[in-house]
Structures are given as C-alpha cells and as structure tokens.
Chains A and B, each alone.
Chain A
Amino acid sequence: METKAVTNAKLLAARRRHSGWVHPSKPWGAIALFIGPVMVYYCIFVIYPVLATFYYSLLHMTPTGGRIVTTFVGLGNFDRLLNDGIFIQAVKNTLRWGVVGPALEMLTATTLAVVVYFRVPLHRFYRTAWFTPVLVSGVIVGLVFRWVFNVDWGLLNVALRAIGLDRLALNWLGRRDTPLWCVVFVHYWATFGYSFILLLAGLTAIPEELIEASYIDGASTWQAVVKVMLPMLRPTFVTVLILSFMGKMRAFNVVWALTGGGPMHFSETVATYVQTLAFGQQSLDLGYPSAIAVAWFAVVCIGVGLLNRWLSRRVEQ
C-alpha cells in the first residue's frame, strides 16, 4: 500500500514536470531587495526606539559636571510611578476615556454605518461628511475646538445662550470637571469616521443573499439588522473596537492642542504626561518618562489582550 502511494506521488511529480508546471523556488534575492529596505527602516525607526525606551526605563540621567551621568536604577523608576499623583491622575483619565470613548464611538459608528448601508436619502453625502474629520490634523481639530469651547464667543456657548440656556454656557476648558470630557468628545468627533468606514465596509461585505433570505423568511428590516447583519459584523466589530481602544490609550495631539493636559492635570493623559516629562520640563532625565511609557505599553497590551480574548469568545459563541 505504502509502495503504491510513493509510486503515485512520483508519477504525479513526473506529470507536473512534463506539463511544465514546476513549483517555483522562491526568488530570495528579489524578496530580500523588496523587504530589506522596509525591514531596515522598521528596525531603525521602530524596533530600536522601542528597545531603547525599555533600556532607558532602567536608568536615571543626571546632568552634572558638564555631562549627563547615567545611573542604573533597576526598577526604581517603576517604583516611583506608584507615588506619582499626576501619573495616577493621568492613568485614571486615560482609563475613563478608554471605556467611554470606544463605547460612544462604536455605538454611533455602527448606527450610522447601518443607516448609510440602507442608502437613506443623501447617504453619499453622509458617508463623506462623517469621514471628513478623520482627514483633518489632530492639532487643527484641537485648535478649532478651542475656539468652539471659548467661554465668551465660542460656538457652543453662543448657541446655548441663543436658545436661552445661559446657565449651561460654562467655562468648558477651565474647570475641574469638564476639560476631560471636552477632550473625549473632540477626539470622538475627529476619529469616529474611521470606525464608521470600517464598519460600513464590513456590512457591505455581508453576502446580500443572506439578508434577502431573511426577508423571504419574513424578517422585518430591524430583525434583519439585529439577527443577521450585526452577528455577521462581529469580527469587524471586534477589530474596530480594539483599534478604537488603542487609539484612546495613546492619543496625544488633540489633547495637547486643546488643553495641554490642563488645567492642573485634570485632562492629563498618560501620553501628554510622558511628553511633558520628557521634553516640557527642565529635567533632562529620560529614564522616568521612559518607565511610564514602558509601564503603559504593558497596560495597553494586557488591556488589548483581554479585550480581544473576551470579544473573540463572544464571536465564537
């Protein structure tokens, strides 16, 4: 039996050779030429900085006597994190954002993607309009919304006053309780179009026959959406949710342009705090900000891992 199988394989190989179909050997030279430059770029500008950050996180850098003296402090910088009130405040703010931001984004992006999928009137306009903010630089978004939130002449307060809600016309960026939520809203406005487009693409990829079949079986549009389309959308949904969560965890430019993390760190995020410590202060110590970056990298990895696992299970179910 075994001899017969070997003979068949040999015959098959001979036939392929005879017919001119040969399994090509991989063109390693060309592959190296194409991938090599990218890999070199990736190693220099991604891998090396990441490894350097890990290394720096174990050091303390002190300028003294005309040079910067580097001292190995082991986990000392990480120990310091636990007693840093501003870091803890930044973590709390970022986590609040990490929960509320993606939830808000997924809810609206999914709803709007379904609406556009069903080609409501002006659906092409909506598709463009909702995606356009993604194309605007975060810094510009931050500056524009700084004007929108201006207490005197900002669009928001002017509108509130115009409809008689003067009491709600607050100093949005100068209070203890509102700056973080302003940041959350502005970042949501600037980025939800990305999730919207991905979910719309996911909906478009669902075979139309399935949806038609549900109609034939007597399902209403609502039932088709809830019982057929949304379950089919779950894999895309999981990916978009994770991307959204990661986006909030490392968001920087909108916060920096809108509030700079202030006032008094009430809208500080981990990313802005790292920037402030590394470049915005007199200190030349890159060790401590590197430790924050490493610790936060670990937190985000764990968060993404848990989220991925939980959502994947639900998809499988």
Chain B
Amino acid sequence: MYKRKIFVYVAGLLALAMLLAACGPAPTPEVVTQVKEVEVTRVVAGTPEVVVVTATPEPAQPKEGPTAIVWWSHWANEPSKRVVIEKIRADYEAEHPDVKIVLTWWDKNPMRDALRNTMNAGEGAPDITSDFCLPDEVAAGWCLPLTDVLPWENFVPGTQEASSYAALGYPDNYKYDIGLSMNMIFYNKEIFEELGIQVPDNYQFTQDEWIEMSEKCSAAGYAGAADAIGNRNYPARFPVWFALFNLVGPEEFNKYYSGQQSWDTPQIRQVLDWFVQLRDAGFWPSTFSTMTIDEFHVYFHTQHKACTLWIPSWYTGRAFKPVEQGGQDPNWHFGMLRYPLMNGATAPDAIYVAYESGYHVTSATRHPDIAKDILVFASQPKYGALWTAVTNIPSAIVYDPVKDWPSDELLEELGVVPGQWQWYWEEYNKVYGGLQGGQAPTPLCDKVEQAWASAINEGLPLGLITVDEAIEMMDANLCK
C-alpha cells in the first residue's frame, strides 16, 4: 500500500515536471538550439549545382559565445538568391567573429504567418526579416527605421523614397533593397515560328494583335500565356498592370493601382474589355486555377505549352537553376517583348520598375545595432554586382561593372558558370534598353488588395464576373 502511494506521488510529480518543462519560455536568440538552418553545400568547381542539404539543428552554444542574429528570408525555392545572401552572411561572419547569423529559408506565405504570430506573441521573432513591412506593420511599430542607417547614396535613385510610407504618415525608410523588379514579357521563339507569328521590329504588339496571337496559340493547342493562380493572389493581374501602365502612364497607374482613383473610367474599361477578350481568345492555360507559380514557370520553359510568359524580372530566380531542380535548359533561348501597345497609349516606351523583396530590422531584435550593421554591410556595391552576376536580376545597389563585378573564380565557387546567361542580357538590352523606367507603386490598403485578388486575379480571368462587376468591386474597396 505504501509503495503504491509512493508510486502515485512520483508519477504525478513526473507528469507535473514534464508539463512545466513544456510550458517553459522559448529559448532566446542567444541559445540557438531550436532554430533550424538550411545549409548550402560547398560547390565543387565546374559544376553549377547548388545542393540544399536537409535541415540541420544548430548546435547548442554557451551564452558567452558569439551573438546570434536570427535572419528569416523567403526565396527558399530560388537558389541563386540564396547563394548571394549566404555569401553576405559568410563574409560578415568572417569580419565579425563575435556574430553568428542564423539564416532560415522560407516560402513566402508561411513566413508571413510566422512573423505575424511571433511579433504578436512578443517572442521568437527574428532580428532581420524579408518582405513584411506593410503599412499596418509599420504603423504598429514592428519595423525599425533605417533612414539614418543605410548608405542611400549606394542605391539607385528613388530607392530611399520607395522604402518609406510617407503617404500614410510614416516618412521614415524601413526597407533594404538589393534587387530591382521589372515587368517583362517573354515569348517562345519556336512556337512563334511554328505558328508564323512575326514579332514587330519594335518588339511591341498592339492590343488587337495580342488577341489575334492568343487565338492562334490557342487554336494550335498552346496557352496564350503561362500564368496561373494556384498559390499566389497576383499572377493574373499582370496583363492588366502592363496594359494600364502603357495606357495611362506611371503616375495615373499608381493612383488606380493603389485604390486612390475610381475605376469607373473609359481607360479602365478599355483595359478590362481587352483583358476579357484575351481570356476568350484562349490566353489562359486550362490549368489556370490550380497551377502554382513554380509550375507555370516549368509550363513555359520546359514543357513549352504557352506562347508567352508575363513575369517580373524575378523569373530568373526560379528558372535559372539546374534543370534537375526545375530550372530551364540554359541553351533554350526565349525572346522578349514590350508591353502591348494600347490604343491611345500615353507611355508606350515606359517600363514598370519596382523593387524585389527586401529586408527589414524588426522591433523585436535584441541587437538592433548589429542587425542594422549587417544591412549596411550588405549595401556595398560589390554585393549589388554579385546579386546581378548570380541571380541575373538588376540590382538596386549601384556598382561599377569593372571594379565591383565578381571574379570568375568567385562565381565558379558559388556555382555560377560565368557567361552562361549572356544571351539573356543581350536580349534584355535589345528589347528594353533605353526604355523609361516608371516608378514603383504606392503601397495598397488592405481593401483594394483583396479586391485586386478577387476581381482581377480570379473573377475576370475565370469568367465568374463581368467587367461592370469587377469595376464595381474595385470601386467599393478604394483606399479612401
């Protein structure tokens, strides 16, 4: 009886101890045992592969060890971008042995969920993070100002302005940008040749020619464009963006885009009517509603099932990687086109320029000076050049192509074959060189963002609503 009692008490105490242990506070950033880090293996010279090793737990560190900075970044599925950021990390750690950067790669949507939850909980948030300082987060004080921190003279003009929320009453700058983002249109040269589609001398089809082209492609069993909305709420917006930008010019475009201006205008009707005509001409793939962003890249460059691809310059992040990882054959060369020439276009020679996802220092950081210093370190011209050389995306950091460009040895060490994508840049310069860059759009309020997603990304392309209904939805959700 006595032994049984003892057993009961011991078992109960054990249960209580386990519960208390489970409810204990999460480790602080100094103790990095909980954080998982995806490591990039060293690349054997001569092979372009960048192999991701399975997640490995960080070894426990004594408190006296280096200061840990937790850095969350998306681009999990874009190895070339990871290579650049990993290089920055390695260089910084080499120069600052007292700092250990714990870098975690995420897909975008889960990262945003995790950030919001950790910031709300006040525990577990990273020191540096990518792409979440939207107006509400800035207003909530979740992002530290970088106005007097970053060397803005190192960036292309307009970068500092684009990283502020002055229009919303927050004039500070909150974002470090490493990459520019330009909207582009690619086409499959073989399919065009097969269907006898002639590209105009100025690489710009008119709005009516786009309809004809889509009809031809559809009749031959190809989609007009490789585009789908399976896991993103924006890809089907591209034709509207490009056409509206071309029709009304950057300034007016920003007003429409950010919900500052009514959509019930002849210009919007012209664009949306054309958008519907495109749909009816067989512009979208049949798998439009389910195909994911990675899948529609493959649909274009490997499966060759679409005549065109409308995409920002971050195409290269997903496509210019080894074929066995879902990338395209480097020997397959596609062509580029300018935006459709809309009837009555006011900006026929403009190109939409915005910024890639960037990085922020969160207000949750316990080491703001170090976190900011890392972004200052990453603002060096050599990293702008490295970004362009490795990712094939224009950089927001100004660099001297002669002095700052990485050596072939370094590129090979990072898994890049120097000159492999030269044809891409030649095509880029041929088609888009000399065009005028339009400024990045004003941040959206939540309402209009949801309306864009619902009406333009889903409703119109799927034929679920009419143009009038789409305009009504947009107007009901303006940011006023």
Q: How many residues of A contact B (CB 8 A)?
A: 37
Counting CB contacts under 8 A, is A253 at the interface? no
Which B residues between 11 and 25 are near A, CB-CB below 8 angstroms?
Answer: 11-13, 15-16, 18-19, 23
Query: Which A residue sits closest to B230, measured CB to CB?
Result: A146
B287 touches A281 (CB 8 A): no
Counting CB contacts under 8 A, is B28 at the interface? no
A282 touches B136 (CB 8 A): yes
User: Least Cβ distance of B462 to chain A in Å?
Assistant: 5
Which A residues between 53 and 78 are near B, CB-CB below 8 angstroms?
Answer: 63-68
B110-150 CB mask vs A (1 if < 8 Å, else 0) is 00010011001000000000000011110111000000000
- Chain B residues with CB below 8 A from A174, complex form: 288-290, 462
B287 touches A150 (CB 8 A): yes
Residue among B19, B229, B289 making CB contact with A37, cutoff 8 Å: B19
Counting CB contacts under 8 A, is A173 at the interface? yes
A34 touches B449 (CB 8 A): no
Q: Once bound together, how far apart are the Cα atoms of A44 and B444, in whole Å?
A: 37
Residue among A30, A37, A262, A283 making CB contact with B9, cutoff 8 Å: A30
Counting CB contacts under 8 A, is B26 at the interface? no
Counting CB contacts under 8 A, is B357 at the interface? no
B139 touches A30 (CB 8 A): no
Which B residues between 212 and 259 are near A, CB-CB below 8 angstroms?
Answer: 229
Known: A29-B9, A171-B289, A174-B290. A68 touches B140 (CB 8 A): yes
Query: Which A residue sits closest to B465, measured CB to CB?
Result: A264
Counting CB contacts under 8 A, is A140 at the interface? no
Which A residues between 255 and 297 are near B, CB-CB below 8 angstroms?
Answer: 262-266, 279, 281-284
Which B residues between 63 and 120 are near A, CB-CB below 8 angstroms?
Answer: 113, 116-117, 120
Counting CB contacts under 8 A, is B154 at the interface? no
Known: A37-B19, A174-B289, A176-B464. A284 touches B140 (CB 8 A): yes
Residue among A30, A34, A266, A281 making CB contact with B450, cutoff 8 Å: A281
- Chain A residues with CB below 8 A from B137, complex form: 63, 282, 284
Counting CB contacts under 8 A, is A40 at the interface? yes
Which A residues between 224 and 239 are near B, CB-CB below 8 angstroms?
Answer: none
A262 touches B458 (CB 8 A): yes
Query: Which A residue sits closest to B119, measured CB to CB?
Result: A284
Residue among A37, A173, A266, A283 making CB contact with B290, cutoff 8 Å: A173
Query: Which B residue sits closest to A62, measured CB to CB?
Result: B139
Which A residues between 123 and 167 are near B, CB-CB below 8 angstroms?
Answer: 146, 149-152
Counting CB contacts under 8 A, is B335 at the interface? no
A27 touches B16 (CB 8 A): no
Counting CB contacts under 8 A, is B8 at the interface? yes
B23 touches A65 (CB 8 A): no
User: Least Cβ distance of A141 to chain B in Å?
Assistant: 15
User: Least Cβ distance of A195 to chain B in Å?
Assistant: 29
Known: A174-B290, A284-B137. A279 touches B12 (CB 8 A): no
- Chain A residues with CB below 8 A from B141, complex form: 63, 65-67
B446 touches A283 (CB 8 A): yes
A171 touches B116 (CB 8 A): no
Q: Once bound together, how far apart are the Cα atoms of A149 and B286, in whole Å?
A: 12
Counting CB contacts under 8 A, is B459 at the interface? yes
- Chain A residues with CB below 8 A from B139, complex form: 63-66
Counting CB contacts under 8 A, is B454 at the interface? yes
Counting CB contacts under 8 A, is A33 at the interface? yes
Query: Which A residue sits closest to B450, measured CB to CB?
Result: A281
B136 touches A264 (CB 8 A): no
User: Least Cβ distance of A275 to chain B in Å?
Assistant: 9
Q: Once bound together, how far apart are the Cα atoms of A279 and B465, in whole Å?
A: 27
User: Least Cβ distance of A98 to chain B in Å?
Assistant: 24
User: Least Cβ distance of A150 to chain B in Å?
Assistant: 6
- Chain A residues with CB below 8 A from B113, complex form: 279
Q: Once bound together, how far apart are the Cα atoms of A37 and B23, in whole Å?
A: 11
- The contact sample of 13 A-B pairs, CB cut-off 8 A, is A32-B12, A33-B13, A37-B18, A64-B139, A65-B139, A67-B140, A151-B287, A151-B290, A173-B289, A175-B462, A282-B134, A282-B445, A284-B137
